[in-house]
Amino acid sequence: CRKAKQDTTQPTQMSNVHTLADLDNVEAFPDAWSGPAQERGPKDEYSAGLAGVNAETGQAALQFIAVDGSVATVSADARRPAELAGIYALSLCCPCLVGGPCAPERRVEWLHLLRRTTTYLIVLQVIMFVVSLCLHGFDTVADNPEFGPPANSLITLGAKYAYVMKYKYEWYRFVTPLFLHAGIIHLLANTLAEFRLCMYLEARWGTAVYMLLYFAGGIGAVLMSCCISPNTVGVGASGAIMAIMGAYLVEILTVGAPDEPVRKFELTQVALFIAMTLLLGFAPFVDFSAHLGGVLVGALLGLGLFTRAKNSRLAPYPKVKWAVLAAGFGLAALFFVIQIPLFFTVVDPHELN
C-alpha cells in the first residue's frame, strides 16, 4: 500500500492505520488509494487500507474490502515499505493471492481482473499467435529461435513491413504489429510484463490514460522502427510496454510515492527494466529502435500527463509546471512531426523476397 508510512519513534503508529471496526464501511479508507484511483469511490469492487500493525513483529495487516462487505487480509513487514507497495500490485495482478479457495473476495478479484482492458489485449495477442501458427505452422529453429511462425505468416496478419506501408498505403500496420508475436518466448515475455506491470498501472492511472500511452507509444515504436530499420519485419507489444514504462518512470520522478523507500524501490525497479530491455535490443531478432521509440513517446507524454497532477513535485511552482507540461506534449508531437515525413519522403524500404 503506497500510502503506508512507518513512524520510527512510535512503532505502533503508522500513517493510514485504522481499527478493525473501521472495516464495516467500504469508504473507511478514502486515502488508501493514490493518484487517479483515489477518485474511484465506493462504486468500485473494493477499497484498501492498513488495518493495524503488530508492534512486536512489525507485521502490517492490509485489508481489501469488497462492496458486499467481505474482507480479504494480507500481511507484510511494516518495517519494509517496499513490501507493502508490492502487495497492492500483486493482489491486482494475481487474485490467487487473495482469500482462500472459492472465497467471495477472490471471486471479486477475478471479476475485477476481467474488467481490465489489459486482460483483453493479452487474450487478443494469444489468439493472434494461435492464428499465425495455423497459417503455416512453426518455422525452423534456425530461422526463428523463438519457436514461432515464419515471417510470411506474420506479414499476412499485419506485421510491420515498411515497403507495403509506404508504397501500398497499408497504414493499419502501424497498429496491428502490437497484437502479433514472433514466437512463444516473445509472447510469454510481453504478456507477462503486461500482466504483472501494465495491469497494475492501468488500475492506477485509469483506462483512458493507460490506453493513450499504450497505443501512442506502440505506434511511435513502429514508426521509429520503419525509419531506422525499414527492411525488417517487426512484431510485438514491447514498444507499447516500453511506452508504459517510460511514463511510469516519469510519474515516479515527478509525483513519486509519499514514502521515500517506496519511491526508491519503484524507481530502481523501473529504471532497471528499461535499461535491460534497451540492452536486449542489441540482441539478434530484437528491434532496438522500436524499444527506443516506445520509451521516448511514453516518457514525453508522461511529462505532460503527470506533471499536472495536484501532488506533483512541481505543483508549488505553477509556471515551471506548465512549462514542463507544454514541453512534454510538444516534444511528443514533434517526435511524430519529424518521423512521419522522414519515413514517407527519405526512407526507401525494399520489397522483401
- What is the set of active-site residues? 238, 291
Q: Which residues pair with 71 in a beta bridge?
A: 65
The CA–CA distances, whole Å, from 138 to 44, 134, 352 equal: 44, 9, 20
Which backbone phi and psi does 194 adopt, to 5 degrees?
A: -65, -40
DSSP-H helix ranges across the chain: 81-93, 104-114, 117-136, 151-157, 162-167, 184-193, 199-205, 207-228, 238-254, 260-280, 288-306, 318-341
Q: Which residues pair with 47 in a beta bridge?
A: 65
Grid cell for residue 81: 515499505
Q: Give the distance, in angstroms, between the CA of residue 157 and the centroid of all CA atoms in the same chain.
A: 25
In terms of Cβ atoms closer than 10 Å to its own Cβ (0-12, 13-18, 19+), residue 43 is exposed
Which backbone phi and psi does 48 adopt, to 5 degrees?
A: -150, 150
Return the CA Rg of the chain: 22
Contact in structure between 50 and 16 (CB atoms under 8 Å) = yes
**DSSP secondary structure string for all residues of 63-102:** EEEETTS-EEEEEEETT-HHHHHHHHHHHHH-GGGSSSTT
Q: What's the rounded Cα separation, in Å, for the pair 165 and 341?
A: 13
**DSSP secondary structure string for all residues of 208-233:** HHHHHHHHHHHHHHHHHHHHHSTTS-
